[in-house]
Amino acid sequence: MINITFPGGKKVYAQVGDFMIETDQSVHGGGDGSAPTPFSLFLSSIGTCAGIYALGFCQSRGIDTTGMSIAMDLENDLATGLISKVTLKLITPEGFPEKYEAGVIRSMDLCAVKKHFANPPQFVTITDLSEKA
């Protein structure tokens, strides 16, 4: 279970096991700008998930990942205001073996976060109005 709390202002925190994930709204959005917004955190989870697969791919083959990174580009649908395309560009380190290009891309496509877009879960929102002692 992930526990969500409201420590004040526009901050919303998520307790995930032993880790506290902090979010806030920008100053423009009424927050302090002290942490990423929930939406930025969501988008970051896409890139970091793909990143762990790319990293694992390289590590399992002894490929040096020094200087490797992922640039994520987003395109918005002007009609809906929603993101219509996410492009993940793996910037490979110098000397990355060309023969592994397709393989590392396939590994990044295994990202569980991305897979949830193909088969999104059902969302259920409920309240618990019982009195707490």
- CATH for 77: 3.30.300.20
| 54 & 90 share domain | yes
| 79 & 21 share domain | no
| 97 & 54 share domain | yes
| 45 & 102 share domain | yes
| 49 & 24 share domain | no
The span from the CA of 106 to the CA of 68, in Å, is: 17
pLDDT at 131 over 90: no
pLDDT at 130 (0 to 100): 82
| 29 & 47 share domain | no
Q: What is the pLDDT of residues 59-118, one digit of tens each?
A: 999 999 999 999 999 999 999 999 999 999 999 998 999 999 999 999 999 999 999 988
| 31 & 71 share domain | no
Let me know if 37 is exposed, middle or buried by CB neighbors in 10 A (0-12, 13-18, 19+).
middle
The alpha carbon dihedral of 89, 55, 47, 40 has a sign of negative
pLDDT at 133 (0 to 100): 60
| 92 & 47 share domain | yes
| 72 & 128 share domain | yes
Residues in the chain: 133
Taking Cα atoms as reference points, which of 50, 37, 39 lies closest to residue 114? 50
Please answer whether residues 108 and 90 qualify as being in contact, where contact means their C-beta atoms are separated by less than 8 angstroms: yes
Average pLDDT of the segment spanning 23-34 = 97
| 47 & 76 share domain | yes
Total of domains in the chain: 2
Q: What is the pLDDT of residues 33-54, one digit of tens each?
A: 999 999 999 999 999 999 999 9
Domain with 7, as residue range(s), is 1-35
